[in-house]
């Protein structure tokens, strides 16, 4: 995986972040994975973006994969999207990128959203894959949502999820090495077998239902909007459109310039539909971050 990419750890304020990166420094794009994946989920997309002329940075979110974050806090702020977004700003600083595009999938999209709101001068374009803001989910939560996305509320419980998942992580988290790619699968499998990683992933969800949702509500109350171009892509064989219809309609309340479409894929589109995803990202990023 990631032939020609440099793999290294970057120490930030209170975390140590695993980063894979390559490129000549022009048109940097930061790719952020979702739950329960690692940065290896991008192994089929990142080289395509590199070939298209982008500098590509893939990072493990704090506590995920091989990145190490702080101990959880009672208010879950140590694993908030605000804290993780700060990690990513510091990572990009260390790599010499003052302004960059950010694309996130699933939980990584929530980090990308917080990064775009908290550091708008740093973000040239925002891509959200299989995502709407967490506060929008909660505002619309009903029995159907709770049935389909019950894991959000299970993960929020204290201690019980750790005991259940760590008892048999291979049974809880299932992945197909033929679909994922063997190296990606093996890296992901090693991560989910680590109780430290499991705890951090659960803290991500606990933060989502508490401090992260509060931060988003504060943005809405203040009338803040994303001013950079926004791309919204969703998996047609997942349930986001089933729950909400066209997610772009929701994003129009959060951003001035929204575009996007569905991708013929299951949830993990970077693994299942890398060509279609890379093509969509390249077209968007070419327009949003043209060569000087």
Tracing tokens 């804290």 back to the chain, one arrives at 83
Reference 91, options 146, 143, 20; nearest CA is: 20
Measured distance CA(199)–CA(277) in Å, rounded: 30
Strands 100-105, 55-59: pairing kind: unpaired
Cβ atoms of 37 and 268 within 8 Å: the answer is: yes
Active site residue 253: no
Reference 267, options 244, 233, 292; nearest CA is: 233
- The SS3 assignment for 233 reads strand
Alpha carbons within 13 angstroms on the beta-carbon side of residue 73 total 12
| Catalytic entry in 185, 257, 267, 286 | 267
| Catalytic entry in 60, 106, 219, 238 | 106
Active site residue 106: yes
Q: Which residues are catalytic?
A: 106, 267
């Amino acid at each position: 995986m990631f032939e020609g990419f440099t793999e290294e750890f970057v120490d930030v304020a209170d975390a140590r972040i695993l980063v894979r990166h390559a490129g000549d420094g022009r048109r940097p794009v930061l790719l952020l994975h979702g739950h329960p994946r690692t940065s290896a989920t991008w192994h089929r997309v990142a080289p395509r973006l590199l070939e298209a002329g982008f500098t590509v940075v893939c990072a493990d979110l704090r506590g995920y994969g091989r990145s190490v974050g702080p101990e959880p806090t009672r208010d879950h702020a140590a694993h908030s999207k605000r804290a993780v977004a700060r990690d990513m700003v510091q990572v990009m600083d260390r790599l010499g990128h003052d302004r960059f595009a950010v694309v996130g999938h699933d939980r990584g999209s929530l980090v990308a959203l917080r990064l775009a709101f908290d550091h708008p001068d740093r973000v040239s374009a925002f891509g959200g894959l299989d995502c709407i803001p967490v506060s929008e989910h909660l505002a619309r939560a009903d029995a159907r949502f709770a049935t389909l996305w019950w894991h959000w509320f299970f993960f929020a419980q204290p201690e019980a999820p750790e005991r259940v998942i760590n008892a048999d992580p291979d049974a809880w988290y299932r992945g197909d090495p033929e679909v994922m790619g063997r190296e990606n699968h093996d890296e992901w499998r090693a991560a989910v077998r680590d109780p430290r990683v499991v705890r951090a992933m659960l803290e991500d969800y606990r933060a989502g239902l508490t401090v992260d949702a509060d931060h988003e509500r504060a943005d809405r109350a203040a009338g803040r909007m994303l001013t950079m171009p926004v791309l919204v892509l969703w998996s047609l064989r997942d349930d986001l459109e089933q729950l909400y219809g066209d997610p772009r309609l929701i994003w129009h309340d959060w951003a001035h310039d929204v575009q996007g479409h569905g991708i013929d894929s299951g949830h993990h589109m970077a693994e299942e539909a890398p060509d279609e995803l890379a093509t969509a990202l390249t077209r968007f990023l070419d327009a949003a971050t043209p060569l000087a």
